[in-house]
Amino acid sequence: MIDVRREAAGKLADGTPIEAVTLTNASGVSARILTYGATLQALIAPDADGGLADIVLGHDSVEGYEQNRAFLGSTIGPYANRIAGGTFTIDGLAYRLSRNDGQNTLHGGHAGFDQAVWDIAAIIQGETGAVTLTHASPDGEGGFPGTVQAAVTYALDQVGDLTIAMRATTTQPTVIALTNHALFNLAGAGALQGAMLHRLTIPAGVFTPVDPTCIPTGELRPVDGTVFDFRRGRLLAEGLRDGRDPQIVIGRGYDHNFVLDKGTTAEPQLAAVLEDPGSGRKLEVLTTEPGLQLYTGNAYDGRILGKAGQLYRMGDGIALEPQRFPDTPNRPAFGSARLDPGQTYLHTMIYRLSAGAPQRANPVIL
């Protein structure tokens, strides 16, 4: 039986109360979800010796999330990642969006789903424990057309799978792409060595290079012979600061979309494997979406105060964001992100946790 606990989690600056729901299985795997931003505030996982640690970056209190919009663990929408120029067109009508990334729109603009207070619609306790949160985004919010009804279900089982199922409907033709923006450090959110000595595998033979504003150029570039080739697994540190690759220079590290070999699928399939040799923890990310954004926290520069008083820096965590490709609304060759009335957008992703034998010689990077 999954233990499910619902409790008060503080208040926003305007007095709005925030709640938290914690799901815990018999092995000690635990997920704490806030109604603010439908945020994964904590994900506790055992290492190879059974020791428990929180493996996602974040804040100890809801005030931290309100004061620092760093997307840590948040549900991202209505459109994850970037839309070029903050504009797109549907049926000949041009829509101008809120721009919060230079001239571009990032993660929904200035009023994204990560800043909304979601409602707890349902809680389930059983061999799988779950909480469903809902949010209504009014027509025109952030410039996006249509009243969007969104729902996110977090479900934890006894094996160690945390499934995140996202749904949305609309009253007008619009664009939708939802994801979760957790940043992981499998050594523990407060570990001094950060996450750059983790080993990452991504089954993708192609990625989408970007221009100087981090908008995809439209090219689908093979990863062969580049620091973007994670097909057989590699340490993140091997390519993170490789200034010989112009794409690493533009992103100040990894901040790129990978075209998953599996494409769009009806059921979640493997998108990434992240392994920490020191703790033995392993995270598999599965998704129904065709892309995966790899982000190494390049914008974190020690000014954000995180859990346990830690100042977050580049490389302290890694985001693996399943998604539609960035700027898909302006690039028909990337597919479609359109949602029409009467249709339901669905994205199911899984964080699958396990632990194997640790390798004790894991050095510390300060």
pLDDT, tens only, 263-273: 999 999 999 99
Average pLDDT of the residues of the chain: 95
Q: How far apart are CA 35 and CA 152, in angstroms?
A: 11
What pLDDT does residue 365 have?
30
What pLDDT does residue 358 have?
64
Above pLDDT 90, what percent of the chain? 94
CATH number of the domain encompassing residue 309: 2.70.98.10
Residue 192 pLDDT grade (very low, low, confident, very high; cuts 50, 70, 90): confident
Residue 365 lies in a domain: no
The three-class DSSP label of residue 237 is: helix
Counting the structural domains of the chain, the total is 1
The number of CA neighbours under 13 Å toward the Cβ of 51 is 13
Residue 193 pLDDT grade (very low, low, confident, very high; cuts 50, 70, 90): confident
Residue 75 lies in a domain: yes
Indicate which residue of 19, 141, 289, 321 is catalytic: 321
Residue 362 lies in a domain: no
Phi-psi region of 108 (alpha: psi -120 to 50; beta: other; left: phi over 0): left
Residue 360 lies in a domain: no
Residue 251 lies in a domain: yes
pLDDT, tens only, 19-68: 999 999 999 999 999 999 999 999 999 999 999 999 999 999 999 999 99
Q: How far apart are CA 147 and CA 170, in angstroms?
A: 5
Q: Which residues of 102-126 are buried (b: 16+ CB within 10 A; e: fewer)?
A: eebbbbbbebbbbbbbbebeeeeee
What pLDDT does residue 363 have?
34
Name the least confident of 3-17, 171-185, 300-314: 300-314
What pLDDT does residue 357 have?
67
Q: Which residues of 265-281 are buried (b: 16+ CB within 10 A; e: fewer)?
A: eeebbbbbbbbbbbbbb
Residue 336 lies in a domain: yes
Residue 363 lies in a domain: no
Sequence-ordered list of residues with C-beta below 8 angstroms from that of 225, at least 6 positions apart, any chain: none
pLDDT beyond 80 at 328 = yes
Question: Does 110 participate in catalysis according to the annotation?
Answer: no
The backbone torsions φ and ψ at residue 328, rounded to the nearest 5 degrees and listed phi first, read -55, -35
Report the candidate in 273, 285, 284, 275 with the shortest Cα–Cα distance to residue 349: 285
Tokens 């960035």 found at: 326
What pLDDT does residue 314 have?
93
Q: Which two tokens stand for residue 123?
A: 């809680």
Question: Does 181 participate in catalysis according to the annotation?
Answer: yes
The Cα-based distances of 140 to 5, 143, 288, 331, 335 in angstroms read 36, 5, 28, 22, 24
What pLDDT does residue 359 have?
58
Residue 161 lies in a domain: yes
The number of beta carbons lying within 10 Å of the beta carbon of residue 135 is 21
Task: Give the residue numbers spanning the domain of 52.
Answer: 3-355
Tokens 């995966």 found at: 292
Q: How far apart are CA 19 and CA 8, in angstroms?
A: 5
Indicate which residue of 59, 135, 181, 198 is catalytic: 181
Q: What is the mean pLDDT of residues 325-347?
A: 98
What pLDDT does residue 241 have?
87
Please name every residue paired with 20 in a beta bridge, in sequence order, or none if there are none: 7, 34
The three-class DSSP label of residue 181 is: coil
